[in-house]
Structure 1
Amino acid sequence: MKIHPTAIVSPKAVLADDVEIGPGVIIGDEVTLGAGCVVQAHAIIEGKTTLGTGNLVGYGSIIGTEPQDFAFKKETVSEVRIGNGNTLREYVTIHRGTKEGSATEVGDGCYLMVGSHLGHNVRIANRVIIANACHLAGYVEVQEGAVLGGGTVFHQFMRVGRQAMVRGGTRFGKDIVPYAMADADNFLSGINVIGLRRSGMKAETRQEIRRAFKLLFRSGLNVSQAVEQAATMEWGPEATAFFDFVRESKRGICPANQRKGDRDEGGESID
């Protein structure tokens, strides 16, 4: 174990034998760091915070502090839980849950860039990329493989679907459906075709997602009507997950704008 002499590490913290702790770091009583974790200079990890294996906590990052919630009570026991193989770059902030027994969660293999913020009770699934200065308010959920562009802000309780791509410098208060491109405030432009292809998704599955997207946004039906019609049709697991996401939405979903940018494998517009 490598602990810089200027670091302040609680003797109650649980650290794996090969953890590296840089200058000026502060590690609190209830912190657990798994094998291969590196905490760079002047980072602070406190509260009931658990990091799995192989995580990097960047310079000046602050994890596990109290939530920015006026209803929060000092005696509340809550957590931050971070999985394995994540990179948290400089000045990332992650607040712990605001309710008794709740947690803010990050999965495995995520990359949080400089200055990104996760508010209380945010849930980040596996292999999510969050670019510089993204701000996620309380209870935001980001599903597996989504990419959030820099400087984007997300309203509390909203969701970002799996493998969605969100343009930087935008803001969202409604749910972004899976597999979508979101490139304007609360609007979608089409399907994340390149991202789906790069992920290894088969062409027939991509085509089915296109059909689902057209039914939801281009058929002239409202959302409830489209979901009802989808329930009468047969879909593979990815498209089924697409409609399940829509059906479970509490904040409503972002509509698709009228751009013609989404095209099928042959270059034809889905419109």
Structure 2
Amino acid sequence: MTSVHPTSILSKECEIGEGVVIGPWCVLAGRIRIGDGVRLIGNVYLQGPLTIGARTVIYPFCAIGFPPQHVRFKNGDPTAGVILGEDTTLREHVTVHAATGEQRATTVGNRNLLMVNSHLGHDARTGNDVVLVNNSALGGHAEVSDAATLGGGALVHQFTRVGRMAFVGGGTRAVADVPPFTSAVERSRLAGINLIGLRRAGVARHDITSVREAFRKSFREPMTRPEMVETLTRLGTRCAMVAEMATFVSQCANRPISVGYERGEHEIGAVV
């Protein structure tokens, strides 16, 4: 049975599924669609256009769907808004801003955990099974792929991508794309592969060995991006995960690619 606390305010445009619980002092404005089993604990502020997937839980003082922090966006401009996936948890003070246009919503995938005070800027996207630890933030148009983790206070520059099953350490400033299965620290420096994450995910030992070899022969060696793609593509004939790394690097369009400690920091912006 759906339950709405009498102190909450809902617009007439809200569509609410079965078994939804809306706690005290929530404000839902605009066109909002809420899936079955969603829980708004209390003091939650939602602005449409917004879609919330089934069984998602939103904790107090979250603000979802409000206008983007963009100098050219004016209140009332059309927006695709925000899409929150299923089985996702947003802890206290999470903010997710609406998209700057009508073509693509700011999107949070399924089974995400967005911890206290984490932030998604306008047009940002996360895949499935992503974890954002306290105070981490994605700039506008940033993308985080499936099963990646951002440590506490990690910052992802606008338009930067974080690959699948990558780990961005606490306090890291990701100003360059972070390849899949790697671990980034400090200012987009690759410390190695995300060995702990790969093992926890049950990745086969021979695949981990292949990813480690690919990392050593590409991201630690002085080479241009086309040379990195060529190396990873050659090694990827034996391992699909390495082939995925090659595809990721080949698609770097808006930001440079992160590199290993063995290369000077000035090379981060020089890998083109």
Give me the TM-score of the superposition, normalised by structure 2.
0.91
Displacement after TM superposition at 1:70 (Å): 1.0
Q: Tell me the matched-pair count.
A: 259
Give the match's secondary structure for 2:261.
Answer: coil
1:248 is aligned, of 232, 248, 251, to: 251
Q: Contact 2:220–2:259 at 8 Å: present in 1 too?
A: no
Q: Contact 2:233–2:243 at 8 Å: present in 1 too?
A: no
Displacement after TM superposition at 1:220 (Å): 4.1
Structure 2: distance between partners of 1:186 and 1:213: 15
Give the match's secondary structure for 1:32.
Answer: strand
1:103 is aligned, of 102, 105, 108, to: 105
Name 2:188's counterpart in structure 1: 186
Q: Contact 1:216–1:223 at 8 Å: present in 2 too?
A: no
Name 1:264's counterpart in structure 2: none
Name 1:29's counterpart in structure 2: 30
Displacement after TM superposition at 1:244 (Å): 0.6
Name 1:54's counterpart in structure 2: 55
1:113 equivalenced with 2:115 (yes/no):
yes
Give the match's secondary structure for 1:231.
Answer: helix
Displacement after TM superposition at 1:154 (Å): 1.3
Name 1:160's counterpart in structure 2: 162
From the superposition, tell whether residues 23 and 185 of structure 1 become closer, same or farther in structure 2 (CA, over 3 Å). same
Q: Contact 1:190–1:256 at 8 Å: present in 2 too?
A: yes
Displacement after TM superposition at 1:101 (Å): 2.8
Listed one character per residue, the Cα deviations across residues 83-135 of structure 1 (whole Å, up to 9, x for unaligned) are 10000000100011101232100111000000011001101000000000111
Provide structure 2 residue ranges, at least 5 long, that are not aligned to the other structure.
264-272
Q: Contact 1:114–1:131 at 8 Å: present in 2 too?
A: yes
2:85 is aligned, of 65, 83, 86, to: 83
Structure 1: distance between partners of 2:234 and 2:189: 27
Displacement after TM superposition at 1:231 (Å): 3.3
Name 1:140's counterpart in structure 2: 142
RMSD: 1.4
From the superposition, tell whether residues 198 and 232 of structure 1 become closer, same or farther in structure 2 (CA, over 3 Å). closer
Name 1:19's counterpart in structure 2: 20
Structure 2: distance between partners of 1:158 and 1:230: 21
Give the match's secondary structure for 1:189.
Answer: strand
Provide structure 1 residue ranges, at least 5 long, that are not aligned to the other structure.
260-271
Name 1:237's counterpart in structure 2: 240
Listed one character per residue, the Cα deviations across residues 21-70 of structure 1 (whole Å, up to 9, x for unaligned) are 11110112301110110012111111210011010011010101110111
Give me the TM-score of the superposition, normalised by structure 1.
0.92
Displacement after TM superposition at 1:232 (Å): 4.0
Name 2:204's counterpart in structure 1: 202
Displacement after TM superposition at 1:235 (Å): 3.4
Listed one character per residue, the Cα deviations across residues 133-173 of structure 1 (whole Å, up to 9, x for unaligned) are 11111000000000100111111000001111111112121
Give the match's secondary structure for 1:78.
Answer: coil
